[in-house]
Amino acid sequence: MIVPRPTPDEYAPFYAGYVAQIGEGADPLEVLRGQLRSLPVLLGTVPEAEAGARYAPDKWSIKEVVGHLGDAERIFAYRLLRIVRGDETPLPGFDQNDYVRVGAFDQRSLRDVVADWAAVRGGTLTLTQGLDAAAWPRRGVASGKAVSARALLYIIPGHVEHHVEVLRTRYGIGRAGP
C-alpha cells in the first residue's frame, strides 16, 4: 500500500516544496529506501579533501549539508513518532543554522557524516515500515503548525531530494566534468 499524498492542510506551506519532490504516485517508503542506497553512492564520489568546500563563503560545506540532513531527519522522525503514537503535545521548532554551527561536521570525515545519516535513515525506515494504515492520518503540531504523519513521510525524503539537488547544482557533485 502506498501512503496517500498529504493534502496542503496537513503541513505548513514552508514544506510544500519538499512534498512536491515526491512524484505523483511514488511510494514514499520506496523513496526512503532508494535514498539510503543512492545518497552514499553520490557522496562517495566526493574526495575527502573537497568535502569542506562551500559554494559561497556564507554557505554550508558539503559535510555540513550532510550533517544537516541527519539532524533534520532525526527531528522529523521524532515528530513522526510522537504523532503516530497519539502524543498531542505541541513540538518545538529548531533553527537549522544553529544546529549546523555547533554540529562540528567539518571536524569529521565525510564518510563518518554519511554513515551517521545512513544510521538515522535506517531508524526512520524501521519506524515507518512498522506503521499501519490508521497511523498515517494522525495529526500533531510542530513549530506551531499542524502536521500529519503522512505529511512527514513525504517531507523526510523530499527534504533530502531538495538538498541532493543543491549538492548537484551548487556544489557540482555527480555532474559530468567539462
Q: What is the predicted pLDDT for the residue at 52?
A: 98
Q: What is the predicted pLDDT for the residue at 178?
A: 40
* Over residues 105-121, mean pLDDT: 98
Quick check: 148 and 138 in contact, CB under 8 A? yes
Of 60, 44, 61, 40, give the one whose Cα is nearest residue 52.
61
pTM above 0.85, yes or no: yes
Average pLDDT, the chain: 96
Q: What is the predicted pLDDT for the residue at 175?
A: 73
Q: What is the predicted pLDDT for the residue at 176?
A: 55
> Which phi and psi (to 5°) does residue 147 adopt?
-150, 140
Question: At the top level of CATH, which class does the domain 11-169 belong to?
Answer: mainly alpha
User: What tens digit of pLDDT does each residue of 30-47 get?
Assistant: 999 999 999 999 999 999
